[in-house]
Chains A and B, each alone.
Chain A
Amino acid sequence: MPSIHCMPFLSRRLVISAVAAATAFMVAPASAQDTLKVGLVAAMSGQSAKSGEAIVRGLSLAIDEINAKGGLLGKKLELIVRDDESNPAKGAVAARELVQREKVAGVFGGLDTPVSLAIVPFMNQSKVPFMGVWAAGTAITRNGAEENYVFRVSAVDVLVDKALVAYAMKKYGAKKPGMILINNPWGESNEKGLKAAMAAKGVTPAGIEKFEGNDVDVVPQLTRLKNAGADSLFLVGNVGPSAQVVKSLDRMGWKVPVVSHWGPAGGRFSELAGPNAKEVHFVQTYSFFGNQRPVGQNVLKQLMAKYPDIKSAGDVTPAVGVANAYDAMHLVALAIKAAGSTEGDKIREGFYKIGTYDGLIKTYATPFAPGRHDAITENDYVWTQFIDNQILPVGTKK
């Protein structure tokens, strides 16, 4: 009978798979018990690779501090990093893998708004907290989900846009600013925000132009804005594209104040954009230059001890990545501590229970509440410029 022939074969295969499954299960929970895992999905390669490295440094520093004090819920914290290559599809896959296979307690996000926007629905669905430490897209935290698991310690486009408009009007007396925006969801997010912020101040834009991340020459777009009478420019784009705008302005010989979102901070802006890089004033959440509070002095000291390439404040680039990630990791730890568990919904409640935390960027007082998932406000921004490959507060150096 065929069944007799089948039986030993089947059972052998069963045994093998059972053994395989058993060993897999034996290995997986063992390592999960040792540590409390948190994940990071950020650009570790490609044009924005430096941003991912900065986030890793900020998170690692905070994790070292937490582990030195005995860890969290009796376990050591462990960071698991995944590269999204600035690609939303790869980011979404990485987040899924971190949550489902690595069973992380939470996931940190990287620089790219499109990537974060691709991850957010999955995180809300699986009820695992997502902490943005860089991407500023408004819809990341304000995503309309009934139970929102997305928090952020970073700039928010809608607030940055208000700050950009206020700065251009105050600093340059701007009356007719033009917009030059990267053609992706981040640019769109800011187009809305800038329009609203300008309307609130009774200012009409001279024009709105888009450009591609790989555009070599932005002169045609800029010429349109110039001819439309723009007296200042709002720039939104990552470091490479932002540099292309500055070089195109050079070639046109057009000297116009440029007020920028923080894209230039993501890389070697001075080198890429040339001598006029310093003419771009852009927003940051933190600078290691100037007088530091005790937390800042301590973080800088630890960074220099841990990373030999950091010899002074100027080497902490990009500073926002390090600073936001450092504070975000501590806030996540406080939320987990308040929750007393790594269950997503409890951690979410834990965020609302955080009282006062003396952080790097500021002293946070009840940083999160239902409907208020952004810990940084427009009053926390710092205005900076690139001088000799360093991000300095505006006016620090000529």
Chain B
Amino acid sequence: MGTAAAAAVFVSMLVTSAIITGLGLGSMYGLLALGFHVTYAVSATVNFAQGSSMMLGAVFAYTFAVRLGWPLPLAAAAALGLCAAYGALVELLAVRPFARRGSNAWLMATVALGIVADNAVLFTFGKEPRGFQMSWAAGSFEIGGLALSPLHLVIPAAGIALAAALHFFSSRTRAGKAMLAVVQNPDAARLMGINVPAAILGAYAVSTVFAGAAGILIAPLFNVHSDMGTLFGLKAFAVAILGGITSAWGVMLAGILFGCVEALITALLGSTYTQILTFALVIVALAAMPNGLFGRAGVKKV
């Protein structure tokens, strides 16, 4: 085999393994960004501290599964339940009082509540990062000369399944359609007997459950600590804007795209350039397509 051919094999291996990494992380960004999408679609507000919601999912699941010894599925379900409650709390405390007055202060209020949550966890959960190993996630296997961990398959699969579930919910169920009606015209929706505040509250619960699920899925790859979500939350917001925050599939695709581009830049050019180039690309993409890659221009119908 010539050197050129050998180099080509190397590069293709680099690219494949980068794409696998990117799919996993990207679908996590996508899940978090879907959380932004859900609340934005219904109320034009978001929880800027999605990273904290993600961290809470992982911390709750760790507490139930490791400290209390519950079986993992039960621990995960209980953690997601608490996440939903936390999401509702965010809406009630940090969004509703301000949005009702037409003020944009929810922006800062959600950030503040996130910081409160991070610090509450720091004091109760502890300062040290903890490892959250799950037995099914251990080890690796090989497909076509490429080493894979079960997590490489489960994380993107779970991410896409959740996105599909959201799509099904909003387009096929009564409650989902009611939410869409709230988006289009809150006043008309109210006149039609739709409970608008409940729909918004529900959207925040769903949004936080998505973030919590991302936290639980990422935990075995990462470690559990109070600021584990900060960087994720930031990247996810970039992803949500990049995808065009109004489109669910767009947001999910943008997440996967962001993850893959990030991993490809690291693999091909080296890690020195990762942050500079990925975020520079975000700016270029938004300059060229102001409504995001998959979004539509908002048209206010009167």
Residues of A within 8 A of B (CB): 44-47, 49-50, 183, 209-212, 214, 216-217, 219-221, 223-224, 227, 239-240, 243-244, 247, 250-254, 267-268, 271-275
Contacts and interface: CB of A to CB of B under 8 A. Distances in A.
Given A219-B17, A254-B147, A244 B222 contact: yes
Nearest to A251: B149
B272 A210 contact: yes
A247 B272 CA distance: 21
B205 to A, nearest CB: 26
A251 B18 contact: no
B138 A274 contact: yes
A220 B127 contact: no
B166 interface: no
Contacts of B131: 243, 268, 271-274
Interface in B107-137: 122, 127-131, 133
Nearest to A253: B147
B237 to A, nearest CB: 16
Contact of A221 (B24, B127, B266): B266
Contacts of B231: 214
B19 to A, nearest CB: 10
Contacts of A221: 266-267, 270-271
Interface in B244-296: 263-264, 266-267, 270-272, 275
B173 interface: no
Contacts of A211: 271
A293 to B, nearest CB: 31
Among the interface residues B130, B148, B223, B270, which one has the most CB atoms of the partner chain A within 10 A? B223
B225 A252 contact: no
Contact of B14 (A44, A227, A243, A244): A227
What's the interface size class on B, roughly? 35 or more
B17 A220 contact: yes
Contacts of B149: 250-251
B218 interface: yes
A312 B64 CA distance: 30
Interface of B: 10, 13-14, 17-18, 20-21, 24-25, 122, 127-131, 133, 138-140, 142, 147-149, 151-152, 218, 221-223, 225, 227-228, 230-231, 263-264, 266-267, 270-272, 275
Contact of B142 (A45, A47, A253, A267): A253
Nearest to A53: B127
Nearest to A50: B128
28 contacts: A44-B127, A47-B127, A50-B127, A212-B271, A212-B275, A214-B228, A216-B25, A216-B221, A217-B263, A219-B17, A219-B21, A220-B263, A220-B264, A220-B266, A223-B13, A223-B17, A223-B267, A224-B267, A224-B270, A240-B129, A240-B225, A244-B223, A250-B140, A251-B147, A251-B152, A252-B17, A253-B140, A274-B138
B259 to A, nearest CB: 9
Contacts of A268: 128-131
Contacts of B10: 227
A220 B222 contact: no
A86 to B, nearest CB: 11
A224 B273 CA distance: 14
Contacts of A271: 130-131, 133
B271 A183 contact: yes
B223 A220 contact: no
B129 A216 contact: no
B271 A227 contact: no
A337 B229 CA distance: 49
Contacts of A216: 25, 218, 221-222
A140 to B, nearest CB: 24
A251 B140 contact: yes
B270 A209 contact: yes
5 A-B pairs with least C-beta separation: A253-B147, A49-B127, A220-B267, A271-B131, A220-B266
B129 A267 contact: yes
A274 to B, nearest CB: 6
A217 B128 contact: no
Contact of A47 (B14, B128, B133, B148): B128
Contacts of B222: 216, 244
B288 to A, nearest CB: 26
B119 to A, nearest CB: 10
Contacts of B133: 271, 274
Contacts of A223: 13-14, 17-18, 267
Contacts of B138: 274-275
Given A223-B17, A251-B149, A252-B140, A45 B270 contact: no
Contacts of B14: 220, 223-224, 227
B271 A251 contact: no
Given A251-B149, A251-B151, A274-B133, A220 B13 contact: no
A273 B138 CA distance: 11
B223 A240 contact: yes
B231 to A, nearest CB: 5
B128 A227 contact: no
A272 to B, nearest CB: 4
B186 to A, nearest CB: 39
A274 B231 CA distance: 24
Given A183-B272, A244-B222, 13 more contacts: A45-B122, A45-B127, A211-B271, A212-B275, A220-B267, A221-B271, A223-B13, A224-B267, A240-B225, A243-B131, A251-B148, A253-B147, A274-B138
A220 B18 contact: yes
Contacts of A275: 138
B25 A217 contact: yes
A214 B233 CA distance: 12
A227 B13 contact: yes
Contacts of A243: 131, 223
Nearest to B226: A46
